[in-house]
A and B are shown apart, each in its own frame.
Chain A
Amino acid sequence: MIYREAGQFKSTYASDQAVFPILQDRVIAGLVLVAAVIAVPLVANEYWLQAVLIPFLIYALAALGLNLLTGYAGQVSLGTGGFMAVGAYAAFKITSAFPGLNIVVAFLLAGLAAALVGVLFGIPSLRIKGFYLAVATLAAQFFLIWLFNKVAWFTNYASSGTITAPPRRMLGIMVTGPEATAPVRYLVALGLVALFAVIAKNLVRGRVGRSWMAIRDRDIAAEIIGVRPLRTKLLAFAISSFFCGVAGAEYVFLYLGSAETLAFDINVSFLVLFMVIIGGLGSVLGSFLGAAFIVMVPILLTNAPHLLGLAMPVALQKQIELMVFGGLIVAFLIVEPHGLARLWQVAKDKLRLWPFPY
């Protein structure tokens, strides 16, 4: 009923192949975007923006990147944290070398640097598959973190080894650095993630995405029908690392403000992989849902006892949070192994028939 498509006729190829072919989807997507751009900065306080929404958007971008690689091209990667670190350190070096450069351009250049590194570490994927590839990318993670810790050039010889986001303006408005307000940083992160989501969606619907999926589903068959594994796999690594690199740069410049290598340790790689799995492998929407789940649920659980007026020791609260969160992950994976995106799909199918299901 709510999702009824009856009466929506497509008279052109363009409308038939649109990202959102159904009117209801277009309306919902439009409303969400308008709410995110206009309502959220007006309504949300600094805590919500700074501690919840900005990390959510940045993690969503990283999850989107990993989803292209793991969900669409079928190459398991545990190097996400390392590729994000490449983006962050590259952005830091670029902004300190070219202080006048537009910060978004710096982010994109940092993404390019990450893409190069990603291609380099993607080369073994031509020979090794599955779990073995995961181990190989794990090596990338450890090597990159070690490198940034070891070589002082990356931090401009800062004695503490931290990189700090320098104050930078865009169109006269402070975007990074301590003076940048939370709404501005939120909007920059939102703009980038929206742009990259559109790019990702169109990539996976086109020739590139189809060749990725062919490789994922059966690489030998794909090779026989003319998909070149070398180019396809490396392209997946490059684009995925590009997304992760931009996310890493944002992570330091828009969210943390300053960071050490520990901010990109193996836990980040696992976290992003969990986002992809929980959100739904091979789904753009799933990347967002997964990021929302992993970022927001712990914060909700941390605040829940207080909202309910229960006073309990913080250590106990943290332990309960970890247990409930772990339990929720297991529960969701049992209920829907294909992730939150699949749940949304099921809900949509039900809404189509509502209120007369059969």
Chain B
Amino acid sequence: MTLRRVMIALLVAAVVAVPLAGTVSAQAKEMFVPSLVYRTGPYAPSGTPFANGMWDYLTMLNERDGGINGVKLVVEECETQYDTKQGVECYERLKGKSGGAVAFNPLSTGITYQLIPKAGVDKIVVHSMGYGMTAASDGRWFPWVFTFPTTYWSQASSVVRYIGQQEGGLEKLKGKKIVHIYHNSPYGKEANPTLEELAQKYGFELTLLAVDHPGQEQKATWLQVRRLNPQWVYMSGWGVMNQVAVKEAAAINFPMDHFIGNWWSASEADVIPAGDGAKGYKGATFHAPGTAFKVHADIVKFVYDKGKNIGPKDKIGEALYNRGVVNAMYMTEVFRTAMAKFGNKPLTTEQVRWGYEHLNLTEARLDQVGLKGFTHAVKVTCEDHEGSGPVLIQQWDGKKWNVVSEWIPPMKEVVRPKLEAAAIEEGKKLGYTARDCSKEN
């Protein structure tokens, strides 16, 4: 009988608590910011630092400035396990919550593909920062999707440009062998068309090697690499696949400074398991590694010293942590842009979309937010939701990542026409029509 009493008490508590829980927010000056994260599952080593960076930056703004121009940010995380079904569940759960979500950062190309068709219908911005569907960067066809500061296609062209620089000029690429090892998913395949076109243009020999999810088994792949004996290897990996690849490359004595990961394949978690073998491994990035920025000092002061953190303090400044910071910073700067036009109050989704489309993040502004030299300026327009940003190459020295290149611009003349053609194709699949950007304000 006691068990029954406990059950009844629990039920009563639930009935009383449910209406209370719903009435807390939806008042005052607040904006609801959903955060899709994956802190568990096979991709958690990649997802956790990113989620921490995002959380810390937004919490820091709340603690230091009381939000953005007096509007407090209500952040809620939702666990997706990098699984598209759970991602969709999170999106549906959070989109109407607490006055409505205004923007989603899915941090998964798979989930982004799910959300792109929904975004236009629900009128919610999807910002897939450096991932997702490259074709959606054409703002005329996909007004609700943003991919800035840059995309996989631009990145691939920048990396080819970098390889050309190392070889002593793009014309020297002729006859060279380049291998692209990719995660066998929409994400990994994304860079292939660009690489194929560049291979034709510059005459290098491209070999595409797929690695199936989750990528723990790559012996066959690296056997092929050894047989081909390429000059350069480029990798689009994620999660556990990266560390396995780095270990395998070290095991076959591949020259690590000729092995370049894309920006999702170059974090601390990817190289540390390979130990000294990973020394010299390179990776692309669009922001600097490390903690030598004012923002990081503020995060320690306002988040960690106040005990508002989720992650551990010694992980601040990791590559993916900093990517979370830069993602949060883009979003909050968008809110500021929109507030400058629509007033310092909670924004609607339409207003936020306007903000994304008119974001003009200058070097001076980066200095003001405490990220001078952290990343490059970004300007988004109605046509161009990508920004065609340049990338940096960083190199692992066995202890930390060091930037070893200048900003390398993408080959916009190659990428943009392909992108526009792909946007038409993808847009038509969804029954979209292009809007006229000259009529936008």
Chain A residues in contact with chain B, CB under 8 A? 45-47, 50-51, 55, 146, 149, 159-162, 164, 166-167, 177-179, 256-260, 262-263, 265, 299, 302-303, 306-309, 313-315, 317-319, 322
Contacts and interface: CB of A to CB of B under 8 A. Distances in A.
Given A162-B186, A258-B114, A260-B113, A178 B121 contact: yes
Interface of B: 13-14, 17-18, 20-21, 37, 39-40, 44, 48, 77-79, 81, 84-85, 88-89, 92-93, 96, 109-110, 113-114, 116-118, 120-121, 133, 184-186, 189-190, 192-193, 210, 212-213, 310, 422, 429-431
B353 to A, nearest CB: 17
Contacts of B120: 178
A318 B39 contact: yes
A259 B84 contact: yes
B84 A307 contact: no
Contact of A263 (B84, B96, B190): B84
Contact of A159 (B14, B44, B92, B189): B189
Nearest to A52: B89
Contact of A308 (B13, B93, B117, B185): B13
B289 to A, nearest CB: 24
A160 B113 contact: yes
Nearest to A46: B92
B85 A55 contact: yes
B431 A177 contact: yes
Contact of A149 (B13, B92, B210): B210
Q: Which of B40, B78, B210 has the most CB of A within 10 A?
A: B40
Contacts of B429: 164, 166
- The list of the 7 closest CB pairs from A to B, nearest first, reads A178-B117, A315-B39, A160-B186, A314-B79, A51-B92, A167-B431, A51-B89
19 contacts: A47-B93, A149-B210, A160-B133, A160-B190, A161-B189, A164-B113, A177-B430, A178-B121, A256-B114, A257-B118, A258-B113, A260-B84, A260-B185, A262-B110, A263-B85, A308-B14, A313-B310, A314-B78, A317-B79
A314 B75 CA distance: 12
A164 B116 CA distance: 11
A146 to B, nearest CB: 8
A56 to B, nearest CB: 12
Given A260-B110, A318-B79, A309 B40 contact: no
B430 A178 contact: yes
A346 to B, nearest CB: 20
Contacts of A51: 88-89, 92-93
B185 A262 contact: yes
B117 A164 contact: yes
Contact of B185 (A161, A167, A179, A318): A161
A83 to B, nearest CB: 18
A226 to B, nearest CB: 45
Given A306-B21, A317-B79, 13 more contacts: A47-B93, A51-B92, A161-B185, A167-B431, A178-B121, A262-B84, A307-B17, A307-B21, A308-B14, A308-B17, A314-B37, A314-B78, A315-B44
Contact of A307 (B14, B78, B430): B14
Nearest to A267: B83
A315 B79 contact: yes
A50 B88 contact: yes
B186 A260 contact: yes
Contacts of B39: 313-315, 318
A155 to B, nearest CB: 10
A260 B213 CA distance: 12
B210 A256 contact: no
Contacts of A178: 117-118, 120-121, 430-431
B117 A257 contact: yes
A256 B88 contact: yes
Contacts of B310: 313
A307 B18 contact: yes
A313 B37 CA distance: 11
Nearest to B13: A308
A123 B110 CA distance: 35
A260 B21 CA distance: 37
B185 A159 contact: no
Contacts of B189: 159-161
A247 to B, nearest CB: 14
A47 B90 CA distance: 9
Given A51-B93, A315-B39, A258 B79 contact: no
A164 B88 contact: no
Contacts of A318: 39-40, 79, 81
B92 A50 contact: yes
Contacts of B133: 160
A149 B120 CA distance: 28
A307 B78 CA distance: 15
A256 to B, nearest CB: 6
A277 B39 CA distance: 30
Contacts of A161: 185-186, 189
B431 A179 contact: yes
A223 B110 CA distance: 49
A319 B89 contact: no
Contacts of A146: 212
B147 to A, nearest CB: 14
A256 B84 CA distance: 8
Contacts of A322: 40
Nearest to B41: A318
A299 B81 CA distance: 14
A159 B213 contact: no
A167 B433 CA distance: 13
B200 to A, nearest CB: 15
Contacts of A306: 21
A313 B133 CA distance: 30
Contact of A309 (B21, B84, B186): B21
A111 B48 CA distance: 41
Q: Which of A45, A50, A51, A159 has the most CB of B within 10 A?
A: A159
A52 to B, nearest CB: 8
A328 B117 CA distance: 36
Contacts of A307: 14, 17-18, 21
Contact of A47 (B92, B109, B210): B92
Contacts of B77: 313-314
A319 B40 contact: yes
Contacts of B21: 306-309
A299 B190 CA distance: 32
Nearest to B36: A314
Contacts of B37: 314
A3 B12 CA distance: 31
A9 to B, nearest CB: 41
B217 to A, nearest CB: 13
Contacts of B118: 178, 257
Contact of A299 (B79, B89, B113): B89
Contacts of B210: 149
Contact of B422 (A46, A159, A260, A317): A159
Contacts of B88: 50-51, 256
A177 B117 contact: yes
A188 B53 CA distance: 43
Contacts of A166: 429, 431
